[in-house]
Amino acid sequence: MSTITRRMLMAGAAGLGAAALMPRWLHASMQMGEWQIDTLSDGHLVLPADFILGPMPENAVAPILARHGLTGATELTPPCNVTLLRGQGRVVLFDAGSGPAFQPTAGSLLDALDALEITPQEVTDVVFTHGHPDHLWGVLDDFDEPVFYAARHVMGAGELAYWTDPDTVSTIGTARQAFAVGAARRLQMMGDQMQTFADGDTVLPGVTALMTPGHTPGHMSFLVDGGGTPTLIIGDAIGNHHVGFEAPEMPSGSDHDMPTAASTRLTLLDRIVADDMPVVGFHLTGGGMGRVDRMGAAYRFLPGVL
């Protein structure tokens, strides 16, 4: 498996044409009782394919990639779907996007909000699934001031502790050292503005935190229940629409703890199907919203089926 660095990320995106930089701001929408749930485009990432696929047995993953038109792909371009939740007098973002400093193909969340005529000041809550750059780095502007300055910011206590631990940068591995440095700086600048919660806590009325570790040590998903069928915001607990569903047991190079992340995916998918819940995923196709269906011993993501 190759390592991934910011230089690689920037270089991989530099050759993309202007058309690739024109996202559809509003990806998907659904009404759930008192809540309106939308996904907004923060652009997309450009990743070396083996950053995710590297640890997977080639003979096992090849048929899956073929079904999704990814045979021979050297790069993957996952979308970034930031979830916007509105209702009960709140304007809530799940994650803050990449901001301008991560990849040139990402960081368009403010444009998406502007297209919906939502100002940063109107955002009441920013709830983080985890501390990776495409989820956290958009929390500060170019002057290191909070972008959503009037909002309450909350992150799982274990996740916050991990990224603010001075030992993380030396133990995370060279492939992710820039992630650790960037997260620590931003979280330090946020200071006491970043509050914490625990597994099972009600982070908002009708929104419950669900610990889904492995992708990062303290990764959180969120069960939204505003009347009708509850919806699960999964962040990166299932990080793509192909191998993440069809072979959830396989190790993914994007996960910090690959065995734990695989176990989390299997448990989560079983629950999602058993409860027939819509899901919202940060890097899933079709705007990130859909349902999950069993496909033999595996699963498949059905985008747009709500």
Residue 10 carries which side chain, given as an amino acid letter? M
Give me 245's structure tokens: 């569903």
230 falls within a domain: yes
> Range of 116's domain?
24-303
17 falls within a domain: no
Match 């997977």 to its residue by tokens: 56
Task: Give the model confidence (pLDDT) of 90-149 as tens digits.
Answer: 999 999 999 999 999 999 999 999 999 999 999 999 999 999 999 999 999 999 999 999
Mean pLDDT of all residues in 237-243? 98
DSSP 105: T
pTM: 0.91
184 falls within a domain: yes
State what percent of residues in the chain have pLDDT above 70: 92
67 falls within a domain: yes
Measured distance CA(39)–CA(8) in Å, rounded: 28
249 falls within a domain: yes
Mean pLDDT of all residues in 175-186? 96
CATH code of residue 258: 3.60.15.10
Residue 4 has pLDDT above 90, yes or no: no
So what's the pLDDT on residue 27?
A: 73
Measured distance CA(39)–CA(27) in Å, rounded: 5
Strand order in the sheet with 194-197: 26-32, 35-44, 79-87, 90-94, 125-127, 152-156, 194-197
13 falls within a domain: no
Task: Give the model confidence (pLDDT) of 284-295 as tens digits.
Answer: 999 999 999 999
The count of structural domains within the chain is 1
So what's the pLDDT on residue 24?
A: 62
So what's the pLDDT on residue 10?
A: 35
Q: Which helix (H) or strand (E) holds 237?
A: none
146 falls within a domain: yes
So what's the pLDDT on residue 306?
A: 81
So what's the pLDDT on residue 229?
A: 84
When pLDDT is cut at 50, 70 and 90, the band that residue 228 belongs to is confident
79 falls within a domain: yes
